[in-house]
Structure 1
């Protein structure tokens, strides 16, 4: 059949891959094809410059359909056409009243799911007056009583709006409080959707130890899971938070493998408590962080569905149980304090990738999340990002938009295979708990994080506004954290007034779930009654190092801000711009950008014709760092006199050369040059050393 398009190109012969490759190699003029055009990722995967149909010819999943096992293309046959992903924004306000005010406002403005994050004290089962200062209100809302939960969720129709509660280590006590709150509101349990879930191994991996033994936690979660199956069938009780590996610097293979290994540990533990795979698997949710590597993140979510289907099938689960429940959250790993509005752009591509990857719910972090509590503006922009993707980009109109892309299909397959291999390594260790005790995940993630940090330091990887393209006019941004002492004082008084004596007899999980929390019970009294004198877990491991990639560069900037506060101006760099503009401008601009990354003020010397003029101008500036900017050809006659005269007049001055003429390095060092800045330089190390040398940081 001839179409207008085929007729238009009929005179052209479609080239073969071999012909394209030959032409590409000719264009490279002798440069190795693999070295120049094939890219190795942090995952160890090799990304080709071109993918063709032959690359996907043998992929086993290529003919799968949406809504059909292994569910790679979508969990349902209709994708987002019938049920679009849920807009599940986090609102980490410290009190139930503040949370309720925010959630009711945001639900009226497009949010479609409630995410309720208990604070640290609640997640550990401590009442506010039992917790340390800084724990109450930290990371979420203080939820010590049924009244707190009722107040937090007041005015929210939970029969129509899903609610996701991160239960920490107190899923059963928190469930009992929720039950009591729901009875007051009249919400039927069978209509409750979402999760009230725990991730014990995730808590262990991030904290290094647990205040309660794992067997006790698993027994409680088994009771909760069985209860949910019978009474609240749409409520998940187990969560696997893979974001902890991403936000510690791990790559996609590690996230997938460790997430699946954690989930398998949970399946086995629940089976040991006589729960069937078809009871457990539908009540286990996965949470993945979605980062900056756009196509890798899409492939990661697709691969997760493939892997989970295979695992549940191996456990004997039904086809329906093989459907994964995927929540995605824009990553914290690449969020920056410097130039924070760039975080909006990062979140846009991450949210887009999450939607293309087929998440069921999505949290977009507000651009100011690193400063503490979001304000109304940052909440609105984060929420509207998802609304734009749903309503203006028409993403829900296409089922699995990534499907059929030769590149993405290959990447999904390679990623799944690599993750399966690492998952099997964890299984050989004896499972995820044993692997954590042996330090395998922590060591692998730390190695990847170190590799990423090295790439950032040398600007092989770029964080816009942080290690490149810094905003020289940027001022320090204030944090907006709660007054934790005031929050604790207020909450301690409120809870103490409501709390009655703790139950004298130990309570069983089943009893709590059957009757709900007694009048006057609190998260602290229920946890104590449930666990009695149960000892803390004897398991102790090296914890993951949760951090952000930008932190070292942010510390450079903060040191410069502190210097400016103390001395009235940032540390100063003088550019000795030698000769005509065309001679010095390229390296002067490079030097300016290089030093502005570290918070330095940069003074341009103008057109300096002679070494003597450069020295005079540099000394007049009183800058502790002088950068000579010119060309390699002129450096032999310029560098020695400038450097020697500067050092004679001001011995402590640091002389830096813009460029790295390899055959001149020894001579310039002998003349007194202290450092070289160039495209391959370790920017972080160079700036750190210079700050320390001139007394900006210890």
Structure 2
């Protein structure tokens, strides 16, 4: 009672606060306060952010800046699906945890799938190895297998992959590359041979021939032949496996090349339009085509940009399908998302855990249907039990501990994200329209326009990273000089090849070769007659014991292939800086020591420390050893210590006010005693002093606007690293 009385007394003594007494400042008032705080700095330059998408981000967003609510889709599961394709969002249908499963041997992959499902995965995401995607048998395995992916060459392999798995319970996600008829028909043959229902299969076993052309620059069959084949697959699937999608629109091939978010989305939409038109020519209607499509998007580092991209993607796809006459169900975009390859680092790789977490968060807020979080060491090696567990648990924690299965459309109503979504949609639509002006996706690729535009953005990214305007922790900023690289868990290629060769030969030895050849002949005749019954014929071929390569050779024996001038090359954002570190490590192994940088610190610690710290960080990202000290009181002491250090470079560190007095004598003395030593200065020189500094012997200046990568490359070359 006493506590209750005290509480009531306290509440009685506290006056009620009315927020009416606070007047909300408008944007102009805030702007004037911000300008005053900048003390002469440019408001536009300091507080506005230009992105690679050609969008300028405001420092603050207000209700007036947001799009008119009447122009937007206002309800999830309705209108243009910007807010999601399900009315209840993840509350009624959580996103699928679709971690990639990439073991090479079929039986081992089966164990991995079961393990992942037991530990929390809710979909089966199978990576095929490069040879399988190309239709070649596992007896030709080479070093490409180091990238992982299961080798499937026979119906027995297919059985071993799926043995004991309930395909009614789990959706599939398999990117088959340019062709999926072989995988679908082999899976169908295996299920029928084991008295399983083909209709149990659902999810996506998809082909993306244009995506492969973009990534590889060539195809082993012509696009016309691949489109013919895809049309037959779509028709068969619609009739026999209605819950299976067969067309993948892969945005990762552009993201891996450094493309911006609007480029990735715009090119994916342009590719989808090409598939629609080509399949319509072959007798399919828009509702059938659109319902068989699944989109794959990469998730980059710009958190809000990725959310906006996913929301804009659904909105624009609805618009595209509607323009072709598709119904509301066909306008729903199914999205599989994957954390980006482009921004993952080899050095300081544990930071990748933070990157994938924020990327996964953006995917969830953006409203994806399934998600793949890559292991933190994916840029270095195939994932192990630890890295796979961390990646998988990222999603499980987002669902079960962070409660991200609700609310529906969490970004809805955000002035910033609503504005950004509209801008991304408009910019992406412009990219797609430009491709249409260029004659469509295929013609744009043949002209090299898509590749050129992606490369332009890549070069912008590299330039900003080189100048450290963009920062990557552990690589071009805050490098760990004592870091030991993670070991690569490389596969034994020879042993795997021997195992796969034996498995394939043992299978072939038990088949009726005459019967198999009869079925291959029927396949050849079916192709010559342009029959729509391709999948059933292929199914019979695999049931008769043909290998993947047997079927593929007949399928494409008269096709001439396809080429474009160049591909969208796969890169990683930090590869140039990492190459510097690699070269530095190789030099250290060969010579027993690193190239050294001597800090010619002038004056007491407070005088030189800021620039000494800056210089240390600047050079350590290039693998140099930085020789530190507490400072020198005279120019003679500094020069003498620099010469005796045996370093490649001496860098003078102090303040702008002291440089006119200190720099010329220190530089001259060092050059007089050791002419080959490179002398540098920490800080941008005042224009009136630069000439005298260079005359004294200073060769380069490092500061926040300097091109870090170019300077470090030059220094390595001066030190004998080529």
Normalising by structure 1, report the TM-score.
0.96
Give the aligned partner of residue 130 of structure 2.
120
Partner residue, 1:551: 575
Q: Is the 8 A contact 1:159 1:193 kept in 2?
A: yes
Written as runs of structure 1 = structure 2, the 5 A alignment for 1:382-397 is 382-397=391-406
| CA–CA separation in structure 1 for the residues paired with 2:152 and 2:333 | 29
Deviation at 1:57, TM superposition (A): 4.8
Alignment match, 1:321: 330
Q: 1:303 is matched with which residue: 312, 321, 338?
A: 312
Query: What SS class does the counterpart of residue 328 from structure 1 fall into?
Result: strand
* 1:533 corresponds to which of 542, 558, 563: 558
Contact 1:95–1:137 (CA under 8 A) maintained in structure 2? no
Q: Equivalent residues in 2 for 1:210-609 (5 A)? A: 210-499=219-508, 501=513, 502=517, 503-505=520-522, 506=524, 507-508=526-527, 510-513=533-536, 515-516=539-540, 517-537=542-562, 539-609=563-633
Contact 2:270 2:441 in 1 (8 A): yes
- 1:682 equivalent to 2:682? Answer no
Q: How does 1:89-100 map to 2 (within 5 A)?
A: 89-100=99-110
Q: How many Å separate the matches in 2 of 1:103 and 1:495?
A: 22
Q: Deviations over 1:446-499 (max 9, x none)?
A: 000100110000110000000001111102332223222332232123213323
Aligned residues: 692
User: Which stretch of structure 1 is more off in the superposition, 260-269 or 604-613?
Assistant: 604-613
Distance 1:669 1:216, change over 3 A: same
CA distance in structure 1 between the partners assigned to 2:144 and 2:607 by the alignment: 58
> Which residue in the other structure is 2:98 paired with?
88
Using the TM superposition, name which of 52-61 and 388-397 deviates more: 52-61
Return closer, same or farther for 1:60/1:261 CA change in 2, 3 Å cut-off. farther
Residue 606 to residue 54, structure 1, CA distance change in 2 (3 Å): closer
Shift of 1:185: 4.4
Structure 2 CA distance for partners of 1:5 and 1:475, relative to 1, 3 Å? farther
Q: Could you tell me how far apart the structure 1 residues matched to 2:77 and 2:48 are?
A: 34
Describe the SS at the equivalent of 1:335. Answer: coil
CA 231–61 in structure 1, closer or farther in 2 if over 3 Å, else same: farther
CA spacing shift, 1:471–1:104, aligned 2, 3 Å: same
**Aligned counterparts of 2:141 and 2:249: Cα–Cα separation in 1:** 28
Q: Is the 8 A contact 2:233 2:535 kept in 1?
A: no
Matched position secondary structure for 2:468: coil
Conservation of the 8 A alpha-carbon contact between 1:288 and 1:328:
yes
Check conservation: 1:235, 1:283, Cα contact below 8 A: yes
Deviates more, 1:198-207 or 1:484-493: 484-493
Classify the secondary structure of the residue corresponding to 2:698: coil
Task: Verify: 1:673 aligned to 2:690, yes or no.
Answer: no
Deviation at residue 279 of structure 1 after TM alignment: 0.8
Give the distance between the partners of 1:531 and 1:614, measured in 2 at CA.
Answer: 73
TM-score for both structures, normalised by structure 2: 0.93
Tell me how far 1:599 sits from its aligned partner: 1.0
Q: Deviations over 1:394-425 (max 9, x none)?
A: 11121000111011011101110111111111
Query: 2:6 matched to which residue of 1?
Result: none
Change (3 A) 1:27 1:5: farther
Residue-by-residue CA offset, 1:41-67 (whole Å, 9 max, x unaligned): 111112112222222353554352111
Structure 2 match to 1:635: 659
With over 3 angstroms needed to count, the CA separation of the structure-2 counterparts of 1:552 and 1:135, relative to structure 1, is closer
Please report how far the alpha carbon of residue 184 of structure 1 lies from its aligned counterpart in structure 2 after TM superposition: 4.0
The separation in 1 between residues aligned to 2:300 and 2:294, in whole angstroms, is 19
Contact 1:170 1:527 in 2 (8 A): no
CA gap 1:67/1:626 in 2 versus in 1, 3 angstroms: same
Q: 2:51 aligns with which of 37, 41, 48?
A: 41
Rounded Cα–Cα distance in structure 1 between residues aligned with 2:121 and 2:83: 26
The answer for unaligned runs of 5 or more in structure 1 is none
CA offset digits 1:65-93 (Å, max 9, x no partner): 11112000011101000110111111222
Distance (whole Å) between structure 2 residues aligned to residue 28 and residue 480 of structure 1: 51
Q: State which of 168, 171, 188 in structure 2 corresponds to 1:162.
A: 171
Which range is displaced more, 660-669 or 424-433? 660-669
* Contact 1:172 1:513 survives alignment (8 Å): no
CA-atom RMSD, angstroms? 1.9
Alignment deviations for residues 67-123 of structure 1 (CA, whole Å, 9 cap, x no partner): 112000011101000110111111222211222222111110001111111111111
By how many angstroms is 1:140 displaced? 1.1
* 1:556–1:599 Cα contact (<8 Å) kept: yes
Equivalent-residue separation in structure 1 for 2:32 and 2:696 (angstroms): 49
Query: Alignment partner for residue 617 of structure 1, among 641, 663, 671?
Result: 641
| Alignment CA distance shift 1:398-1:5 (3 Å) | farther
Q: 1:324 to 1:343 in 2, by over 3 A?
A: same
Deviation at 1:343? 0.3
Structure-2 change in CA distance of 1:635 and 1:222 (3 Å)? same
Task: Tell me, in whole angstroms, the C-alpha distance in 2 between the residues paired with 1:614 and 1:108.
Answer: 64
Describe the superposition over 1:346-385 as per-residue Cα deviations: whole angstroms up to 9, x where unpaired.
0010000000000000000100001121000000000000
